[in-house]
């Protein structure tokens, strides 16, 4: 168990940054979820193997994955994405954070199809993710990458510059290795149901729960407030 963190008195948190898959939703990967729904997961697994072996870039991996969906009607893709359940308590968490004057942000290396839907349903302020290209209602097999597996910290830094924030004024809630770069530059990092030991070890606080509201006591303590406020 990690020692309880003491926050500098002058540190003011102004934003909370969330991962999407596995944190704001109950699935760990929108890519895998779609592959499984379409019956192409075995082919997609080979793409993943090549990426982790260092044979292709993240951009190439994403393109190969989306090419497996080429020709699919957009409405079919949306119907699949709409099956993804939100994490229990997520809506209340976002509402309570915004009531405290905090900016809420979603940064996902997944797809805007789900990230935008989640951000809208939860009432979040900003969302950054990757866009599938659709033409005449059909998936083209192309994808526009904004958030990679290794650049979430850069995306977060760019957001902070846009809003006049410092990364240390952000709280980050994530669950996987791709979130660790954001952990390192944030003022407070929370590993929510961490998927690997390295993720847990990289975070300031570890929270295990099926309900996202479990992070609220940690965040409110960092704000110097009680849950009743």
Supply the DSSP symbol for 25. B
- CA distances to 163, 190, 226 from 31, rounded to whole Å, are 30, 24, 38
Instruction: Evaluate whether residue 57 is within a structural domain.
Output: yes
Domain count, the chain: 1
pLDDT band, very low/low/confident/very high, at 85 (cuts 50, 70, 90): very high
Mean pLDDT, residues 25-40 taken together: 96
6 within domain boundaries: no
- The per-residue pLDDT for range 113-123, each reduced to its tens digit, is 999 999 999 99
97 φ, ψ to 5°?
A: -70, -40
Please report which helix (H) or strand (E) contains residue 128, including its range.
strand 126-135
Q: pTM here?
A: 0.93
Domain span including residue 72: 15-223
Cβ atoms of 178 and 207 closer than 8 Å: no
Residue 45 counted as domain residue:
yes
pLDDT tens, position by position, 33-62: 999 999 999 999 999 999 999 999 999 999
Q: How many Å apart are CA 42 and CA 73, to the nearest integer?
A: 21
Residue percentage of the chain with pLDDT more than 70: 95
Q: Provide mean pLDDT across the span 199-210.
A: 97
Distance from C-alpha of 152 to C-alpha of 186, rounded to nearest angstrom: 12
Q: Are 156 and 1 in contact (CB under 8 A)?
A: no
Specify if 199 maps to a domain. yes
> Does residue 4 lie within any of the structural domains?
no
With respect to residue 10, please indicate whether it lies within any of the assigned structural domains: no
Whether residue 101 lies inside any domain: the answer is yes
Domain harbouring 39, CATH code:
3.40.50.1000
Question: Which of 185 and 2 is assigned the larger pLDDT?
Answer: 185
Q: Distance between CA atoms of 156 and 201, rounded to whole angstroms?
A: 21
Domain-located, residue 30: yes
For residues 214 and 162, what is the distance between their CA atoms, to the nearest angstrom?
A: 30
Q: Is the pLDDT score of 7 beyond 80?
A: no
Q: What is the pLDDT of residue 10?
A: 54
Per-residue model confidence as pLDDT tens digits over 109-160: 999 999 999 999 999 999 999 999 999 999 999 999 999 999 999 999 999 9
Answer whether 64's CB lies under 8 Å from 47's CB. yes
Nearest to 114 by CA among 24, 208, 2: 24
pLDDT at 177: 96
pLDDT band at 9 (very low <50, low <70, confident <90, very high): very low
Provide the pLDDT for residue 1: 36
């Amino acid at each position: 168990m990690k020692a309880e963190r003491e926050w500098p008195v002058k540190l003011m948190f102004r934003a909370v940054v969330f991962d999407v898959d596995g944190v704001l939703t109950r699935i760990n990967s929108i890519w895998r979820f779609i592959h499984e729904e379409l019956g192409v997961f075995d082919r997609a697994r080979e793409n993943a193997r090549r990426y982790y072996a260092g044979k292709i870039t993240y951009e190439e991996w994403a393109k190969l994955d989306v090419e497996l969906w080429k020709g699919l009607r957009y409405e079919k893709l949306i119907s699949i994405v709409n099956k993804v359940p939100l994490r229990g308590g997520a809506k209340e968490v976002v509402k309570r954070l915004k009531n405290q004057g905090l900016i809420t942000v979603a940064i996902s290396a997944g797809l805007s199809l789900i990230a935008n839907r989640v951000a809208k349903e939860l009432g979040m302020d900003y969302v950054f993710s990757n866009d599938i290209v659709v033409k005449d209602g059909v998936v083209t097999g192309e994808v526009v990458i904004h958030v990679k597996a290794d650049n979430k910290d850069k995306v977060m830094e760019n957001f902070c510059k846009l809003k006049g924030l410092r990364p240390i004024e952000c709280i980050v809630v994530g669950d996987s290795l791709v979130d660790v770069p954001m952990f390192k530059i944030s003022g407070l990092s929370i590993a929510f149901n961490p998927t690997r030991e390295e993720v847990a070890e990289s975070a300031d606080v570890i929270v295990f729960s099926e309900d996202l509201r479990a992070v609220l006591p940690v965040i409110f303590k960092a704000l110097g407030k009680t849950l009743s406020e």
